[in-house]
Amino acid sequence: MRRSATSLRRRLTWTLIGGATLLAVLFFLVVRTYAQQIAQQSQDRILEASLTSLMDAAVVRDGEIEVDVPYAAFAMLDTAADDRVFYAVHQGDALLTGYDGLAEGPFDPAVGLDFQTQAFGGAEVRRATLTRALPAGPAPVLLTVSVAQTRDSLAGTLWAISVNAALFGGAFFVLASGMALWTSRSTVRPLSQMAEAVARRGPRDLRPVVRPVPTELSPLVTSLNSLMTRLSASLTQSETFIAEAAHRVRTPLATVRTHAEATLMRVDKDENRAALRSMIRAIDESSRAAGQLLDHAMVTFRGDQLERRQIDLVGICRELVDRLTPVAEMKDLELVLIAEGPVEVQGDPILIQNAVRNLIDNALKYSPPEGVVRIEVQRDPVAIVVCDEGGGFPAEQMAELSQRFQRGANAGDTVGSGLGLTIAQDVAEAHGGRLGLANLDEGGACATLYL
């Protein structure tokens, strides 16, 4: 057996879950990065506004810069986390007012608005700095304003957003994983349903699969159906061939047998008579085998399209016993039918008759002379038991005996093809029953046809 390839469903599930994980992580990172940018931008905008209002409050008087800091310049920097605020105003490179060391010169008006993240006062701060040249007398005065703020509120906002993004990402992952499991299961389901439907079929059921299947599966189903059609056609052909061949062989054999018997009447020499007898015996055997092959082909055919009718088993058995009694008497055997009243079942009368005849044939064949063959029709469960007083089935072979062309080891020189039990078993199975074989303690064997 080939090593089984990886499961489709498992591969689908893991691919989907892997995708979901990737998306969740990506979502988290994108949201976090974006939030960081937005939060930083909004802090920068407020710092800029504060800085602008400080800048606007500056005037040059007698060459000296005067800054009348508006209250709002710092009040607007109030945050939920009460961030610390630092500022510095430089004239040229000299600190005019504010916190020393917040910004260092030289300052250049060409730089424009400059944002820096730096350490100050034992904390990480975001600083905005702007330098402007104010006209004053002969040479302009350089005014530099810096406003800085710690990043506690920013960190708080980011943390809150990160937690939310993580929760959303996690929820998305869980949801997507659940959907992945569901999707893979429902995708693979038609496949397993089809496999189950095909597996449930009987050994001879070669009808094409007609149930609706997903588009992706239809090439497979089409190929399978075409394969089954060809297989079915080839089986039918060979069955037909066997039946035809058996039929064609039987008729000339009958002619040959008649001639052989006529000849036997006429010859007197013992060795010639012996030769003729063994010839007749071989012809019987061939004829019987051809008959059973025909029976088997018919059972196979009728079993596939079983035609159920109300039938009486006792009636069938009685008719058979009547028909076969002359044959039995030729062997000094007695056929006994044990049955009470009619036992009615739904079934194919021709098949059942065939099966019982084969069983009685077998019993007649293996019974010692002067013996009795009992045919019993049981009511509960419905069954037909055929018992003989022969040597019984070899115990170790009982399971194999009903296979085609299998004969018991004790068959010896008894005429037979090995098809009798097979036919009985096929008929039983076609009716939803089975064939039971048993040896009797007091000698003899029983074959039971359960229907």
Partner 1 sequence: MRNFVSVILCLWAGVLVAAELEDRQMFHGEDGVTLRVLSSTDTDIFAPILEGFIARNPSVSVDYAVAGSADIVTLIAECGDCFDVVISSAMDLQLKLANDGLARRLPGLAQQGGSQWRQSVFGFTLEPATVVLNRAAFKGRPLPSTRQELIEALRANPEHFRGRLGTYDVRLSGLGYLFATQDARASETFWRLMEVFGNLDAQLYCCSGDMIDDLASGELFVAYNVLGSYASTRPETLDTVTIITPEDFATTMMRTALVLDSTDVGGAAEAMVSYLTSGAWAAQDRPGFPLPSIGDADAQVLNVVSLDPGLLVYLDRLKRELFLEAWSSALLR
Q: Which is nearer to partner 1, 86 or 393 (CB)?
A: 86
CA distance 388 to 335: 10
Beta carbon nearer to partner 1, 66 or 332: 66
Say if residues 84 and 177 touch (Cβ distance below 8 Å).
no
Nearest to 20 by CA among 181, 172, 183: 172
Interface positions with partner 1 (CB under 8 A): 66-75, 77-78, 81-86, 89, 96-98, 121-123
Cβ within 8 Å of residue 207, ≥6 positions away: 228, 232
Phi first, then psi, for residue 195 (nearest 5°) are: -60, -40
Amino acid, single-letter form, for residue 35: A
Of 50 and 129, nearer to partner 1 (C-beta) is: 50
Q: Closer to partner 1 by CB, 73 or 165: give it.
A: 73
Minimum CB separation of residue 40 from partner 1 in Å reads 19
CB 203 within 8 A of CB 35: no
Distance of closest approach, residue 91 Cβ to partner 1, in angstroms: 11
Q: Respond yes or no on whether the N-terminal peptide bond of residue 394 is cis (omega within 30° of 0).
A: no
Residue 84 Cβ, how far from partner 1 at the closest point, in Å? 5
> What's the min distance (Å) between Cβ of 82 and partner 1?
4
The CA distance from 378 to 46, in Å, is 103
| Strands, sheet with 94-98, edge to edge from the N-terminal-most edge strand | 94-98, 85-91, 141-150, 123-134, 114-120
* Least CB distance to partner 1 at residue 71 (A): 5
CB-nearer residue toward partner 1: 69 or 275: 69
Q: Kindly state the smallest distance separating residue 20's Cβ from partner 1, in Å.
A: 38
Closest CB 53 distance from partner 1, rounded Å: 11
Q: Rg of the Cα trace of the chain?
A: 51
Query: How far is Cα 149 from Cα 102, in angstroms, rounded to an integer?
Result: 11
Determine the straight-line distance between the first and last CA of the chain, rounded to whole angstroms: 37
C-alpha distances in angstroms, 388 versus 272, 308, 443, 445? 35, 30, 9, 6
Question: Distance between CA 284 and CA 256 in Å, rounded?
Answer: 10
Among residues 58 and 445, whose Cβ is nearest to partner 1?
Answer: 58
Q: Which is nearer to partner 1, 12 or 69 (CB)?
A: 69
| Residue 99 or 172 with smaller CB distance to partner 1 | 99
**CA angle (133 as vertex; 44, 91 as ends), nearest 5:** 80
Tell me the closest approach of the beta carbon of residue 147 to partner 1, in angstroms.
Answer: 10
Give the integer Cα–Cα distance in Å for 437 and 385: 10
Q: Report in angstroms how near the CB of residue 73 gets to partner 1 at its nearest.
A: 7
CB nearer to partner 1: give 58 or 435: 58
H-helix or E-strand spanning residue 222: helix 218-266
